[in-house]
Chains A and B, each alone.
Chain A
Amino acid sequence: MACVYLNSVGLYLDNELAPDEQDNLKAHIKDCLVCSAELSLLKRAGESMRSNRVEGDPDAFLVNLRKKITEEQSNDFEGGSLAEDFGKWSKRLVPVPAVIALVAALWLSQPQANNNLVDAYIFNADNNTAYSLVETKTNLPIVDALIY
């Protein structure tokens, strides 16, 4: 069965407990096989991580870094190419067409109840025939004939 102090072993290892808790757990671990095994496992895993170091070449690294800095500075000095500027701006402008498309989609999704206003406008500006046509607007052949 797991010890109730098992979950505190990591905090003990990291010295993150209050000083009196740190002392109490130290005394407990001496007598508890479960907690001492846990401490040993965590210690070995930590030591392995610390031993897995790479050296690299700081001089070569610095040469490459300086090269990049110089390139960036010369780009800044020249103000960047037109294509680069467009590239940067185009990223910022991406939302604009999306917003236009969204607004258009919302507008088109509205009930088209007012479509007949065009007919009404045309025919109201005309004569009595128009009035009778609004009343018979579902009769497409008549509408078509009059519009043309």
Chain B
Amino acid sequence: MDHDQELIISFKQGNQEAFDMLVKKHYSRAINIAYSLLSNLADAQDAAQEAFLNIYRKLKDFRMDASFSTWLYRVVVNSCYDLMRKRKIKQVPLDDLLELIPAAEDKSDYLKKETVQLALEGLPFEYRSAIVLREMQGLSYVEIAKILNISMGTVESRIFRARQMLKTIFLKKGVS
């Protein structure tokens, strides 16, 4: 039995502090996924809050044979998607994105973290979520398929397309 499962059992037995420990343990992971998907810290905080609130509501019914991390990732991604819809946050069109990315003297500067984060905003949400889970969390395609509830082939295609789109943005900026 892993540490997450011990905490969940303890919570089911009425120990509220076990939930707090679960939140603290996974906070960094949740907030970073949300930030990569939303590109805004305040929005990421809100999405992560909503995700943990959902987890709190359903934790008593959590099946112990499932992976808590997989569930957490799924809930966070869904919360980000819901928040984007509610706040009408839209994918930035490629042409607008190219203007938003500041000019750099050195072409390799376009691969700096701020620019890559900006470029992510030009990807459709489904591509963005797949590439973020792969690159930020280092998850395998099998794990991503479980989290996003899609086939392995779809994961492969979404990650491939996400990279192609990012590459197009970098190439247009002269990065080779």
Residues of A within 8 A of B (CB): 7, 10-11, 14, 16, 37, 41-42, 44-46, 48-56, 58, 61-62, 64-66, 68-69, 72
Structural contact, B156 and A48, CB atoms closer than 8 A:
no
Structural contact, B166 and A45, CB atoms closer than 8 A:
yes
Chain B contact-residue range equals 35 or more
Report chain A residues within 8 Å CB of B113.
48-49, 51-52
Q: 22 pairs across A/B with beta carbons < 8 Å?
A: A7-B160, A10-B160, A11-B156, A16-B156, A41-B170, A42-B163, A44-B108, A44-B111, A45-B111, A45-B135, A49-B113, A50-B135, A52-B35, A54-B35, A54-B41, A55-B28, A56-B28, A56-B41, A61-B49, A62-B20, A68-B53, A69-B53
Question: Would you call B117 an interface residue if the criterion is a C-beta within 8 Å of the partner chain's C-beta atoms?
Answer: yes
B interface majority secondary structure: helix
Min CB distance, A95 to chain B, in Å? Answer: 21
Known: A16-B140, A69-B56. A54 touches B32 (CB 8 A): yes
Add 6 more A-B contacts to A52-B116, A53-B35 (CB < 8 A): A14-B134, A48-B115, A52-B114, A56-B27, A58-B23, A58-B27
Count A/B pairs, Cβ under 8 Å: 90
Report chain B residues within 8 Å CB of A64.
49
> CA A51 – CA B136 in complex, angstroms?
9
> CA A30 – CA B31 in complex, angstroms?
38
Question: Would you call B13 an interface residue if the criterion is a C-beta within 8 Å of the partner chain's C-beta atoms?
Answer: no
